[in-house]
């Protein structure tokens, strides 16, 4: 069950409170001989994704149509057959016009900090799998052109691409919590009007590609803010936009983000399956950077599942692909695959398999490679964890102290999680510096997010 962002947007447009909508639905029901006693709590449940029974969805359409002066369908209010507000309805099989309105409604709800959107859990099972399956399989979008009020130009698309690079850099330096509000504001004020504008098929494909890159970064920021259901919806949107653009590589990148989230949620078999889908769908067109990351994440998933043979095979494939990476021949989105990234991924897989010496070698290589600010924190955390497991508590304390300094100024829930984990293990290690470093970490954690 996913939040109904379309209904939320219509409530705002109509100026109805929850109680006001409930009262109007009750009156519309009485006019048809129905005895309804809905209150504001029922509307809150509808916004969270519950579908009202019987004729009530049609009554809701009537209420909004009377207020707004235009006809509305069940799909327009997020209550179409199959649950028009759900992720499967926003997948690649959704007509683009309907998708654009659903996407814009989600961006609006996120910008307004609607708790039923931000606190929604990630979906699992079929609703999680279907967007990936629909991205990989036909039908394709034959024509993405649109007639709208304002024309879209190549300069507009250049602005979107520049914005994606800007917000990605902000995320790396300051964290997802502060960046999310800014990128979502940009999606609402600058991107949504363009998607509703006028463009040819060729220009529309470029527009959807540029938007997909932006939406993916919004999802990363939501993930970094612990809003996992919201992050998943952004990743699914990026998949739909990739489908419309015709760029398989962008779709594979969005799937890689879903793989990473699946690993965090301990959905290891799902992570393996998603990575396979991305590799299969792109075939020989996938870039070495993305292929190396997908294989490395598969290795982590297999290691957690206890399949050492499969994990080691994926490690070998990841290392081969990493050797083929050529800067300047990769799309902007795969810039996150920096030197040392595959090393730290492999180190995590080897740690799960219990091969501490090999894991240490890869983690040390990762720390010794250049990385952006948040990437370095994650690499230090992995090396610290391995050294603690090896009984090198004082060396681990040095890594933890560097982490505490590096993380200052970043608003990231993921990095705070890493700090807490390192602090807990360090205090249990018996290091002579444990208390001193724990105080440094506490100081970093006290900075409000």
Q: What is the pLDDT of residue 88?
A: 37
Helix (H, G, I), strand (E, B) or coil at 146: strand
> What are the tens digits of pLDDT across the range 63-89?
998 898 888 888 889 888 654 433 334
Please state, in angstroms and rounded to a whole number, the distance separating the CA atoms of residues 345 and 362. 9
> What are the tens digits of pLDDT across the range 278-288?
999 998 889 99
Q: List, in sequence order, every beta strand (DSSP E) within 395-440.
A: none
- 212 CA to centre of own chain: 12
Q: 430 or 315: whose pLDDT is higher? A: 315
Instruction: Find which of 136-150, 207-221, 423-437 is predicted with most confidence, using mean pLDDT.
Output: 207-221
Q: Two tokens at 88? A: 């499967």
Q: Two tokens at 386? A: 């391995």
Q: What angle do CA 90, 94, 95 make, to 5 degrees?
A: 130
Q: What is the pLDDT of residue 9?
A: 86
Q: What is the pLDDT of residue 94?
A: 54
Longest dimension (CA), the chain: 77
Percent of the chain with pLDDT over 70: 96
Q: What is the pLDDT of residue 116?
A: 86
Q: Two tokens at 283? A: 């075939």
Q: What is the pLDDT of residue 384?
A: 96
Please state, in angstroms and rounded to a whole number, the distance separating the CA atoms of residues 374 and 399. 14
Q: Which residues lie closer than 8 Å to 22 by C-beta, 6 or more apart?
A: 38, 39, 40, 42, 43
Q: 294 or 433: whose pLDDT is higher? A: 294
> What are the tens digits of pLDDT across the range 272-321?
999 999 999 998 889 999 999 999 999 999 999 999 999 999 999 999 99
Is residue 133 within 8 Å of residue 239, measured between CB atoms?
no
Please state, in angstroms and rounded to a whole number, the distance separating the CA atoms of residues 319 and 87. 35
Tokens 């200052």 — which residue?
A: 408
Helix (H, G, I), strand (E, B) or coil at 247: coil
Identify the sign of the CA torsion 34, 37, 40, 43: negative
pTM of the model: 0.86
> What are the tens digits of pLDDT across the range 160-207?
999 999 999 999 999 999 999 999 999 999 999 999 999 999 999 999
The mean predicted confidence, pLDDT, of the chain is: 92
Is residue 120 within 8 Å of residue 111, measured between CB atoms?
no
Q: What's the start-to-end Cα distance of the chain, in Å? A: 29
């Amino acid at each position: 069950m996913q939040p109904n962002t379309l209904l939320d947007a219509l409530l705002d447009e109509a100026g109805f409170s929850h109680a006001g909508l409930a009262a109007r639905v009750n009156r519309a029901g009485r006019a048809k001989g129905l005895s309804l006693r809905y209150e504001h709590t029922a509307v809150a449940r509808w916004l969270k994704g519950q579908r009202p029974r019987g004729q009530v969805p049609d009554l809701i359409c009537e209420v909004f149509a009377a207020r707004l002066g235009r006809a509305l369908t069940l799909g327009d209010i997020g209550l179409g057959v199959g649950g028009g507000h759900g992720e499967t309805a926003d997948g690649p099989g959704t007509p683009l016009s309907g998708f654009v309105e659903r996407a814009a409604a989600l961006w609006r709800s996120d910008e307004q900090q609607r708790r039923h959107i931000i606190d929604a859990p990630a979906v699992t099972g079929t609703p999680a799998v279907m967007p990936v399956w629909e991205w990989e399989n036909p039908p394709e979008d034959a024509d993405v052109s649109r007639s709208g009020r304002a024309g879209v130009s190549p300069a507009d698309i250049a602005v979107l691409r520049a914005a994606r690079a800007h917000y990605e850099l902000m995320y790396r330096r300051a964290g997802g919590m502060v960046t999310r509000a800014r990128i979502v504001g940009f999606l609402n004020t600058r991107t949504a009007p363009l998607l509703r504008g006028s463009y040819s098929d060729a220009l529309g494909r470029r527009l959807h590609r540029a938007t997909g890159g932006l939406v993916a970064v919004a999802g990363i920021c939501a993930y970094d803010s612990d809003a996992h259901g919201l992050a998943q919806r952004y990743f699914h949107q990026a998949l739909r936009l990739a489908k419309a653009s015709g760029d398989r590589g962008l779709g594979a990148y969005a799937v890689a983000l879903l793989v990473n989230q699946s690993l965090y949620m301990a959905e290891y078999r799902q992570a393996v399956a998603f990575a396979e889908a991305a590799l299969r769908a792109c075939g020989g067109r996938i870039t070495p950077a993305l292929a190396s990351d997908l294989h490395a994440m598969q290795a982590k998933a297999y290691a957690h599942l206890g399949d050492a043979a499969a994990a080691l095979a994926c490690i070998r494939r990841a290392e081969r692909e990493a050797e083929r990476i050529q800067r300047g021949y990769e799309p902007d989105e795969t810039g996150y695959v920096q030197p040392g990234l595959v090393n730290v991924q492999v180190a995590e897989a080897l740690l799960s398999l219990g091969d501490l010496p090999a894991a240490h070698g890869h983690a040390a290589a990762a720390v010794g490679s250049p990385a952006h600010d948040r990437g370095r924190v994650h690499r230090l955390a992995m090396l610290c964890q391995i050294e603690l497991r090896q009984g090198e508590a004082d060396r681990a304390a040095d890594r933890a102290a560097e982490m505490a300094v590096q993380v200052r100024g970043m608003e990231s829930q993921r990095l705070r999680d890493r700090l807490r984990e390192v602090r807990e293990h360090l205090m249990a290690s018996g290091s002579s510096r444990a208390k001193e470093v724990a105080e440094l970490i506490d100081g970093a954690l006290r900075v409000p997010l």
